[in-house]
Amino acid sequence: MPFLPGDSVTLSTGIQMPVIANGSWAPPTGNARAEVKNWTLTAFKAGYRHIDTAQVYGTEKSVGLALKESGLKREDVFITTKLPCNLSDESLSNLGFDYVDLYLIHCPQCVDKDVSGKIKAVTSPTFVEVWAEIENIFEQKKAKAIGVSNFSIKNLEILLKTAKVVPAVNQVELHPYLAQNDLREYCKGKGIVIEAYTPSGYSKVRNDPVIVEIAQKRKATPNQVILSWHLARETVIVPKSENEGRQKENLDLPVLTEDEVKQIDALDHGERICNKPDEHGMLWGWTMEQLGW
């Protein structure tokens, strides 16, 4: 059954996760990260009940403040945040909460900066060790569910060898140019919910002639068509908009026909648009082989 915008999915721990979150990444420039409070407030007003943040975004505080100002109760809203692979478990104090709904390991590689400020991978801790820590956080009830982000089948296989708790969610880049069909199938088989970041594929995918044509036919915008494709495939999505009108638009999605879904399926060619390797074939200190991408 395709998801509808107001739906929630039940995670393996039994909690309900709304299928559309508004993202909260903002650049570390000017007042951008503080402004996340204002656009998280408009997202709550538009009807979002799921917000995605991360310690490295520096926006957890703004999300926590927005919830306080919104007048909503803590239990009315689902908050996902992410632990960087260096075990600095500061999210709850940043957010000002007693618990998070979903706590993810942000990425499998643990990295540090060298003297020149360049990112380098470190061998300790490993994501297996970080997972054991995040399992402790779950046992202490500081997170209602725990999961991973940017994990491939290869790295999930390593994790699952020693994990006491199977990740409830794997948040990955996923859009019509990167449909991640093998990973989706694998995660489904393990009871891991797949969540799409960069769900639009930005203007590159929004301007694809197939998307534009369906949008014109549907009297919808390209972004709406792309997000509808995800819901048709039962994928949880994290679009991000700081604009109230576009936030509303991203919750008001047409139901696509099977034929429209197939036309969009055919656009997949494994292209990463958000997080992709640099000129040395590396991403955050790891090769594509280490990432299993």
Ligand X SMILES: NC(=O)c1ccc[n+]([C@@H]2O[C@H](COP(=O)([O-])OP(=O)(O)OC[C@H]3O[C@@H](n4cnc5c(N)ncnc54)[C@H](OP(=O)(O)O)[C@@H]3O)[C@@H](O)[C@H]2O)c1
The set of catalytic residues is 57
The reply on whether position 195 binds ligand X by CB under 6 A is no
Does 286 engage in binding with ligand X (CB under 6 A)? no
CA end-to-end span of the chain? 29
* Residue 207 touches ligand X, criterion: CB under 6 A: no
Of 241, 256, 283, 286, the one binding ligand X (CB under 6 A) is: 241
Provide the b/e sequence for 73-111 (b: ≥16 CB within 10 Å). eeeebbbbbbbbbeeebebbebbebebbbbbbbbbbbbe
H or E element at residue 199? none
Q: Is 250 an interacting residue with respect to ligand X (CB under 6 A)?
A: yes
Q: Which of residues 10-69 bind ligand X (CB under 6 A)?
A: 23-25, 52
Determine which residue in the list 149, 170, 228, 235 makes contact with ligand X, applying CB under 6 A.
149
230 annotated among ligand-binding-site residues: no
Cβ neighbours, 10 Å, residue 156: 22
Q: What is the DSSP letter of 55?
A: G
126 binds ligand X (CB under 6 A): no
Closer residue to ligand X (CB): 161 or 219:
219
216 binds ligand X (CB under 6 A): no
Residues 6+ apart with CB under 8 A from 156: 148, 167, 170, 186, 187, 190, 192
Name residues whose C-beta falls within 8 Å of residue 192's C-beta, 6 or more positions apart in sequence. Answer: 12, 147, 156, 166, 167, 168, 169, 170
Query: Among residues 80 and 137, whose Cβ is nearest to ligand X?
Result: 80
Asked if 274 interacts with ligand X (CB under 6 A), we say yes
User: Whole-number minimum distance, CB 76 to ligand X, in Å?
Assistant: 20
Residue ranges for the known binding site for substrate are 106
- Contact positions vs ligand X (CB under 6 A): 23-25, 52, 149-150, 171, 197-200, 202, 221, 223, 238-243, 246, 249-250, 274
Residue ranges for the known binding site are 106
